[in-house]
Amino acid sequence: MKNLTALLILLIALSFQVEARPKNPLEHQIVSVRVTSQTWNEYRPWQKNKPRTRTFVGTVISGNRILMIADDLADATLIQVEKYDRPPRIPAQIIHIDHQIGLAIITVDDPEFFADLQPVEIAEDTSGEDYYCATWMSGQLSLAACRWSKTTVFNSSTPYFSYLGILFISDLSGGWGEPVFSGDQLIGLGISQREDRVTVLPVESIRAYLRAVEMDRYPGFAWLGINYQFNKGLAQSAYFGQQGTPRGVLVLSCFPGSSVDGPLQPNDILLKLDGHSIDSLGDYVHPRYGPVDLSLIATDGHYAGDTIDAVVLRNKKEITVSILLKASMPSSVLIPETRLDTPPPYLVAGGFVFRELDELYLKAWGKNWEENIPAYLRTLLHMQQEEASTPERKHLIVLADVFPDEYNMGYHDMAQNIVKSVNGFPIDSISKMEDALQHPEAGFHVIEFIPSYGINKVILDAEHFEEATRSIMEKYQIPSRIRTSGGNTH
């Protein structure tokens, strides 16, 4: 009897507890995603930095899927999801990721996980009122009001690709993928936060991404690759044969291999793109968001593979050209901004550590990396921004470090020089370098650098090269000698 009373009291208490917590359907629509990630050590490219673990927000969508911000999953070594921000944590896998548009989908193996979860309702567009965002905080669903501030164009982690974002003012502390709602419909995902301003990826991009994922073959998103200057001045527009108020923009260059490379030409005035008039500041009028940069036309209802028309003023005559939209590869740039989950290719040779130069390497100089990197690398970085890699020169190989040894005496202070050739072969990749080292010149390896500072030409004894490499690797505990761009080490 006594036991029965106790059980009753317990049951009542439990039911009160459930009652006390206001039911919100959102509890079944968002999950916590704990991501352990580990970046590569850019100086010692065979090893990784200290792992770190952060918790993001995932939004449940149809088909037992969880929608996330792609950047939050970068370099992930372990992904775990939790419902209601409570254990157990269930391991999850990425099923699709697109760093360009910045979205990813994860799932868990056990379909039962989704049994008590509900997909969110996805709005058609961002229109609405009383916007709010949601996240989990210590087991509590936390909601915060969001006030629409303005639309903005921001850069993706993929070079040159930019997309539309909406800035909301909110007292939420996040920017970790929180869904933003109007009523009970999802209108965007919080991508980043600075003070009280949350940048939100609007639902139009989310819908476009989800549609693309459903297709037989994922088409990817395109970028134009156009570099232009304003056309506000009457003298400039008259020079190109325009009468009256200047319109359109002056094409300065087309990024090699990009969508506009070929169809558009330097010194064209781009007047219309995909039916949208381009104003003299390079904006077109988005039906919902007003004037935004013309680069967004490539993703406004389009995927890579689509064709759009452009009207240009070329040699003082208006002509129409068609542009086949192409997706970009981050590696198409001479100094890529990112590698997207791939480790840096490198080669250890005679104690010299060579690697492909990218921005991640330069960022290893710390917070003020752009100011602290060697002057020559800074000039290269800035001046290559209008240059793509070419068949002749895909990438730059930098001497990242020299592990001192008697074998490489006299060359210990040469780090940060850029390789020009090895044994007479021009060098633009680690694999070419490896090949060139198979062909010593009369018993010597001759490594030439682009003149910047220090010695231009390193000469090593080829006979003892392999033995020196081996012993230096052992001395400094370097586990593998080479990683080519395929990612294999040995």
Partner 1 sequence: MQRSLLLGLTLLLPLLCHGQMNTKIEDSVVKIVNQYNQFDWYNPWNSGSTGKGTGSGFVISKNRIMTNAHVVSDTALLLVYFHNDPQPYPARVTAISHESDLAILELEDSERISRVPALEFDDLPALRSRVITYGYPAGGKLISSTVGVVSRIETQTYVHSGVSQYLAVQTDAAINPGNSGGPVIQNGKVVGVAFQGNSKLENMGFFIPVQVLNHFLVDLQDGKHDGFPLVGVLAANLENPAARAHAGMKKGESGIRVENITRGSCSEGILQIDDIITSFEGYPVANDGTVEWNGLRLRFSFLVNLKQVGEHVQFKIIRGEERLKIDLQLTDFKPFHQRAHLYDTKPRFYIYAGLVFAPLNLEILKSYSSRWLVKAPQELVYETYFRPLIENDYFDTPRVVQIRRIDHEVNAEETRYLYRLVDTVNGEKIATLQNLADAFDRNTQDQHVIHFTHGNRSTFLDRKKADAAHQEILDQYAIPMDRRL
Name the site residues for partner 1 (rule: CB under 8 A). 227, 229-230, 232-236, 238-239, 250, 252-253, 266-267, 370-371, 375-376, 378-379, 381-383, 386, 408-411, 444, 446, 450-452, 455-461
Residue 459 CA to residue 350 CA, distance in Å, equals 11
Nearest approach in angstroms of CB 382 to partner 1 is: 4
Using DSSP bridges, classify how beta strands 269-273 and 197-202 pair: parallel, antiparallel or unpaired. unpaired
Residue 354 CB, nearest distance to partner 1 (Å)?
17
Which C-beta is closer to partner 1: that of 196 or that of 463?
463
Q: How far apart are CA 381 and CA 111, in angstroms?
A: 48
* 427-441: burial string, b at 16+ Cβ within 10 Å, e else: bbbbebbbebbeebe
If the CB atoms of residues 6 and 281 are measured against partner 1, the closer one turns out to be 281
Structure tokens at 271: 């007047």
Q: Which ranges constitute the DSSP H helices of 249-294?
A: none
**CA dihedral for 382, 387, 388, 390, sign (positive or negative):** negative
Q: Nearest distance from residue 253's CB to partner 1, in Å?
A: 5
C-alpha–C-alpha distance, residues 94 and 207, integer Å: 19
Nearer to partner 1, 133 or 278 (CB): 278
Question: Which two structure tokens, joined as six digits, stand for 20?
Answer: 């006390």
> Whole-number minimum distance, CB 235 to partner 1, in Å?
4
Least distance to partner 1 from the beta carbon of 229, Å? 5
Closer to partner 1 at the Cβ: 122 or 446? 446
Closer of 10 and 281 to partner 1 (Cβ): 281
Nearest approach in angstroms of CB 237 to partner 1 is 8
β-sheet bridge partners, residue 54: 35
Cβ-in-10-Å burial (0-12, 13-18, 19+) of 345 comes to buried
List, in order, residues 6 or more apart from 445 with CB less than 8 Å away.
Answer: 349, 350, 422, 423, 437, 458, 459, 460, 461, 462, 465
Cβ 381 to partner 1 shortest distance, Å:
8
Residue whose CB is less far from partner 1, 87 or 410: 410
Closer CB to partner 1, 142 or 456, in the complex: 456
